Amino acid sequence: MSIEIKALNKKYGNFTALHEIDLVIPEGELVALLGPSGSGKTTLLRIIGGMEIPDSGNVLFGGEAEAQRKIAAPRIGFVFQNYALFRHMTVFDNVAFGLKVRPRRLRPSKKEIRVKVAELLKLVQLEGLENRYPDQLSGGQRQRVALARALAIEPQVLLLDEPFGALDAKVRQELRRWLRQLHHELDITTIFVTHDQEEALEVADQVVVMNQGKVEQVGTPWEVYQQPANPFVYQFLGQVNQVRGRIQDGKAKFDSLEWDLSGYHHPDGKECIAFVRPHEVEITTEPAAQRLQARVTQVYPVGARVRLEVEIKGNSVPIEVDITEEYWQQSGLAQNRSVFIAFKKPRIFIEGSGFVDLDISDGSFLSENLSTNKRVHIS
């Protein structure tokens, strides 16, 4: 079932939780609502689920406003972060609960319920645990029981609020892969809330990045990570370095680094910021053109890679550089070593103009003025 959100607003006293939210979610999509605490993602999820009432705006399911669906309201399954299982009920009874409380004319027979629960427990890989109680299960198992209970009513829309937030890192990673596989098997329109960037990028078909009650960007995981719409999205999604410079003589200048912006008309003296990911920084011990002199201040081995922090003149925040362990061993890059760095794929942000992508091979620009529209469609 598709979901369309139109001009949604919600306030709690003087606090604006949601401001003019417009969003279209096609049927069968797995969508992540991603953002920091207080960005409005859980409020939006609860309004979609009918647990909160917006101050203004509409939620349409399959093209029809929720308020108009009096006869055939959409079936919505909800999975909470804290599982919300009935502790006095067995796994079987928890999963069967939504079926047993249906009106008599819609309630399946006891045999049909047993068959349905058995199918769901097999689906969530919990066969043989139907007689256990929640306290006898691990966190990952309880979360799968909660998901099976939500699926028992055969929902048209599945909503998950920080579903893996209470689990340890290893279990969380296993359940992410499992959820994505399960979603593609069931093909249910699914929306999940998370503040974990890695989780959103790994699991979702589409990511909705939110901040302060607004949608900052919507796109595929690749789009929001590789082509952030604004500095907030860039900084929120993964590690990123920022180097401040100024426009001078039609060029973006950062100490000894400069790039031609002659295709655009920006006034001299205007501040600009170069954004570049740690793996997009090239580091050597040899000086060359278009390199900044720096000094290694910290070295952190991280698994198969090594992260360096380097200090450059005029930048108060260290620059992070990711290199392979092999290169680190060969280059002898140690603390206090003098080095030279270059940016492979910088994106230059100019206030009022947006981003300029640079092709380092010839110094020319590729695109600029990436911005979010007020109304966003996921396609």
**pTM (whole model) above 0.75:** yes
Superfamily of the domain at 3-235: P-loop containing nucleotide triphosphate hydrolases (3.40.50.300)
Q: The sheet that has 364-368: what strands, in order across it?
A: 257-260, 251-254, 241-248, 271-276, 347-350, 354-359, 364-368
Contacts of 111 (CB under 8 A, 6+ apart): none
Give me the residue spans of the domains in the chain.
Answer: 3-235, 239-368
- Report the length, in residues, of the chain: 379
CATH architecture group of domain 239-368:
Beta Barrel (2.40)
Give, for all 379 residues of the chain, the pLDDT tens digit: 899 999 999 999 999 999 999 999 999 999 999 999 999 999 999 999 999 999 999 999 987 665 454 444 678 988 887 778 899 999 999 999 988 988 888 889 999 999 999 999 988 888 999 999 999 998 888 888 988 898 888 889 999 998 877 677 777 788 888 888 888 888 899 999 998 898 899 999 999 999 999 999 999 999 999 999 999 999 999 899 998 888 888 888 887 778 887 666 777 888 889 899 999 999 998 888 778 889 999 999 887 899 999 998 877 789 999 999 989 988 889 999 999 998 888 888 988 778 877 655 544 333 333 333 333 444 3
Secondary structure tally for the chain: helices H, strands E = 9, 23
For residue 87, the Cα-to-chain-centroid distance in whole angstroms is: 32
* Contact indicator for 148, 158 with CB cutoff of 8 Å: no
